[in-house]
Copies of this chain bind each other. A is one copy, B any other.
Amino acid sequence: MNKLETVQIDLGDRSYSILIGDDIFSRTDVDFSCVNGRVAVIVTNETVAPLYGLNLIGLLKKHFALIFAVHLPDGEMYKNFDSLEIIYDALIKNACDRQTVIFALGGGVIGDMAGFVAATYMRGIPFVQVPTTLLSQVDSSVGGKTGINHPLGKNMIGAFYQPKMVLCDTTTLKTLPDRELSAGLAEVIKYGPIADMEFMAWLEGSMDLLRQKDPKALAHAIKRSCEIKAWVVSQDERESGLRAILNFGHTFGHAIEAGMGYGVWLHGEGVAAGMVMAAELSLGLGLVDESFVQRLRSLIARAGLPVVGPVLDAKDNAGRYLELMQVDKKSEAGEIRYIVIDGPGKARLQKAPESLVRDVINRCCKA
C-alpha cells in the first residue's frame, strides 16, 4: 500500500477531507470521527455492489452498529425521481433519523442521487462519497453538486451539499473499462490549460502510466485535480462566477452529448473534443497561439480521447451546435458564453462572435 494522500477542503463549518490511495477498503487507519452515527446506509448500483459492496461493509462494520444497502439500477437514465423514492422509502422504512450516514458507492450518478437524498432527507443528514470511477473521483469529490435529471433537462433539480468525507480508492479503477478511464482523464487534463501548466507538463510525462492504471500516478492526478478544483470552488462555492472555468470544453461537449443522444458519446469524450474546440476558439480570439492548441490536442489524443467533434446536422452543423449550446445553464437570456483559455494556465468566461464560433465548429468536426 502507498501512503494515503489527503486533500483538505476548507469551507468553514462544511470543511472535509478527501482521502486518496490504493486498497482503502482494507486499511485500518481510516478515521470516521467526522460521521459518528449508528447507522450506515450504502447507496450503490447493481454493477458496483457485487464488486465492492462487501469491501465497503468490511471497512464500515467496526464503526457502525447497523449497515444496510440500497441497490439502484445502473445508468444515467435512472437518475430520476423514481430512484430517489427508492432511497427515501428505504430510509423511512428503516426508521433512519438524522444520525444516519449515507455512503455513496459508485460513479457520478450514484453520488449525485445519494448526495441529493442526504441533502433533503429530514432537511439534511451526513454523507460520505466513495467514488469508484476516475471521473467521479476527480469531479464529484469537490464542489458539492448533487441532483437528478428532469425529462426536459440534465441536472435540473439538485442542491449544493457537502459530504463529510470522500474516499477515493484507486484500486476500484482496476475494474473500470479503458474507455471510461480515458473519459475520466478528460476532466483531469482540463486542469492544466485552465490553471496549472506545470500539471499539464506532468500529465504529458505520465500519460502512459495513467493509462496503465499505475496507483501512484493515478493518486497524484486525482489529488492535483481535486486541489485545483477546490481552489476554484473555495472562491465561488455557489457557482456565480469564477467556477464557470471548470466547464472548459463543456459548452461544446454538452452540445455533442445532447446532439448525439445521451450515452452515445461519454461525457468525458464530449469534453475532450469540446476542449479542442474551445482552444481553437481561444486561438481565433488571439488569446493563445497555434502551438498551445497543438500541444493540448496531442495530450488529449494520447489519453485515448477524440480530438474531432461529430457532425450533428449534415445541412447546418454549426447552427445545430449553436442551438444546443443556447439552452446551457451558463447562457444568460439566450446569449452563449464560452470558457476560453486566456493564455496558457488561465481561463475566463466570455462571449464570442457567432461567425468565429461557426468557423471553429466547421473546422473541428468530421462525420
Contact = CB atoms under 8 A, between A and B. Distances in A.
Interface string A76-116: 00000100010011001101011100000000000000000
B160 A147 contact: no
Contact of A159 (B89, B99, B159, B239): B159
Given A119-B159, A120-B159, A122-B329, A92 B150 contact: yes
A97 B155 CA distance: 13
A159 B160 CA distance: 11
Nearest to A91: B156
Interface residues of A, number: 36
A98 B331 CA distance: 10
Interface string A144-159: 0111001011011111
Given A122-B156, A238-B124, A150 B332 contact: no
A315 interface: no
A284 B88 CA distance: 39
B121 A157 contact: yes
A314 interface: no
A58 B146 CA distance: 37
A210 to B, nearest CB: 31
Of residues A145, A239, A331, which shows the largest number of chain B Cβ atoms within 10 Å of its Cβ?
A239
A366 interface: no
Copies of this chain, how many?
2
A209 to B, nearest CB: 36
Counting chain B CB atoms within 10 Å of each CB, the highest count among A89, A95, A123 belongs to A123
A333 interface: yes
The A interface, classified by DSSP as helix, strand, loop or mixed, is mixed
A61 interface: no
A319 B72 CA distance: 39
B99 A332 contact: yes
B124 A147 contact: no
Contact of A123 (B85, B147, B153): B147
Contacts of A98: 329
A123 B145 contact: yes
A156 B121 contact: yes
A38 interface: yes
Nearest to A153: B92
Contacts of A146: 123
A285 to B, nearest CB: 25
A95 B327 CA distance: 8
Given A81-B85, A120-B157, 6 more contacts: A93-B152, A120-B147, A120-B158, A123-B147, A124-B159, A124-B238
